A = this chain, B = another copy of it.
Amino acid sequence: MMTKIKKPFFVFNPKSYLYGEELLKLAQKADEMAAKYPEITVMVTVPFADISNIANQTENLIVTAQHIDGITPGRGIGHVLPESVYYAGARAVFLNHAERPLTLTELTKSMQRAQELGIETIVCADSLAEARAIANLKPTAILCEPTELIGTGQTSDESYITATNQVIKEVDENILVMQAAGISTPEDVYRTMKLGADGTGCTSGITNADSPIQMLEEMIVALNQAYQERG
């Protein structure tokens, strides 16, 4: 079981598209790729109830929860208990995705619980202002999807990535920057990594591909190539 996110990293993020056998098959392919390219951290996000199944049948991935709540064992029926998720095998977690936004207090508590248990955090930011605020909370990584840049003239990938990288690294150069807006082909992965992202990832570009397994492989190959070329 892998536990530490290092750059470069790739996140296969099937959200709620996959579960059970189909998810397992792709996670095992990702696991195989992670063994083949040991310098790349490979993460797979999985639904809560699939975590133990995936963690038990893979070795080289960081199995990643899609959310945790900032609670300690006690009350809280229906919430996502960090200890349960960790026990099942997750070692990283996404927080504050636009599909599951958190209040600032919830985010702060969730991050604190993750840190106490040794769960790495990838926190999502909607804007440059949010990215700066989140960087001050010391996550492992920030996923940048600053919608404000769209349509402002700063739409080129390069300025977009440069702006978010700069804001985050200025606060703490150890925070990893994930750029994943609109990644749907291996070429997107290659270009994004060449522009300076520490990691990237993909959802429907893989799940909707003719061969999801082949697409997953090609993206990891592209990421590796771009990162090697960056030197």
Contacts and interface: CB of A to CB of B under 8 A. Distances in A.
Interface of A: 13, 15-20, 45, 47-53, 65-67, 71, 73-81, 83-85, 87-88, 90, 94, 96-108, 112, 126-127, 129-130, 132-134, 136-137
Contact of A13 (B19, B20, B65, B77): B77
B99 A102 contact: no
A71 B15 CA distance: 12
A80 B126 contact: no
Contacts of A96: 103-104
A18 B76 CA distance: 11
A115 to B, nearest CB: 11
Contact of A104 (B74, B80, B81, B130): B130
Given A17-B74, A66-B78, A77-B67, A50 B126 contact: no
Interface centre among A65, A75, A129, by most chain B C-beta atoms within 10 angstroms, is A129
Copies of this chain in the oligomer: 4
Contacts of A105: 98, 101, 126-127, 130
B15 A80 contact: no
A199 to B, nearest CB: 17
A74 B19 CA distance: 10
A134 B129 CA distance: 10
Contact of A136 (B90, B106, B126, B133): B133
A130 B70 CA distance: 14
A-B interface, 6 closest residue pairs, ranked by CB to CB distance from nearest: A78-B100, A67-B78, A48-B48, A47-B84, A49-B88, A19-B84
Nearest to A49: B88
Nearest to A71: B16
B100 A101 contact: no
Nearest to A100: B78
A45 B90 CA distance: 21
Nearest to A167: B136
A74 B108 contact: no
Given A67-B77, A79-B99, A129-B137, 20 more contacts: A16-B77, A16-B79, A17-B74, A20-B83, A47-B48, A47-B81, A49-B49, A49-B81, A49-B85, A50-B84, A67-B78, A78-B99, A79-B100, A101-B104, A104-B134, A105-B127, A105-B130, A108-B130, A132-B136, A133-B133
